[in-house]
Amino acid sequence: MRVRALMAETSTWDFDWTPPGFRSIDRPDVRAWCYHGGWAGSRGVGRVRWTDGEIERGLDEIRRFFAECGLPVRWYVGPSTTSARLADELRTRASAVHAPRLMTADLDAVKFRRNDAIEIRDVTTAAQVEEMIDAAFPEFGPAGRAAAIAETAGYIAGHRRGGIHLAYLGEELVGFANWRDASDDTCVQLVGAWTKPSQRGQGVYSTLTTFRCDRARERGRRYAAIVADPTT
């Protein structure tokens, strides 16, 4: 089970591109990154392999790194964090604590409900990116909208290990879902999705997940992995 949990945890930082301004610490003992982007995942600390005696020195380094980035720290504590004391320290210092679930599944065993009325289209154009951002994130102001569009358009413009699918009922955009193949080819990483609130319960998310899993099987992947919100 630890191997499978690590598979899901790795999807948090298993990037297949580096946006403009991307900075990182990437050593065997720690993985941290930041850039000014439209998403929460644009900053974080992931893999940490410190002993208890290395915690204070490590925390000082992380504080300096994010101060230079001009961004608050966002920390992922998973099975690659080897110090229980570090997890306790972070919990007492955090302004908020979120507890996602590290989930994996054997692709040959997963079954999801499919709504055959839903059409799935790949995102390949800037116009599709704008349609997706405007539908899913109406709360974005002009600066946030521009940042999200630029980052997403930059992603789809290159040859990546992943992509984005849009779901339509007729010509109405009702959902989207992201995916990325792991850098070691062990699994497909399900790394974000949205369903239009008025269409929830219609099988939009499950249809998108079925599509992503079917495509992953065709590419020879064995597992799917996701860092899931507790309500998922």
pLDDT at residue 76 in the model:
87
Instruction: Sketch the domain layout of the chain as residue ranges.
Output: 2-98, 106-228
Decide: 104 and 8 in contact? Cβ < 8 Å.
Answer: yes
Which of 40-44, 132-136, 151-155, 207-211 bottoms out in mean pLDDT, i.e. has the lowest? Answer: 40-44
**pLDDT tens column, 189-205:** 999 899 999 999 999 99
pLDDT at 232 over 60: no
Residue type, 80: S
Using CA atoms, how far apart are residues 129 and 119, in angstroms rounded to an integer? 17
The answer to whether 57 and 23 are in contact (CB under 8 A) is no
**DSSP code of residue 137:** -
The fraction of the chain above a pLDDT of 70, given in percent, is 98
Q: What is the rounded end-to-end Cα distance, in angstroms, of the chain? A: 20
d(CA 135, CA 105): 30
Model pLDDT for residues 138-154, shown as the tens digit of each residue: 999 999 999 999 999 99
Is residue 148 within 8 Å of residue 38, measured between CB atoms? Answer: yes
Segment 55-59 mean pLDDT: 95
When the pLDDT of each residue in the chain is averaged and rounded to a whole number, the result is 92
Tokens 């994010």: give the residue: 66
Tell me which CATH code domain 106-228 carries: 3.40.630.30
Number of Cβ within a 10 Å radius of residue 157? 13
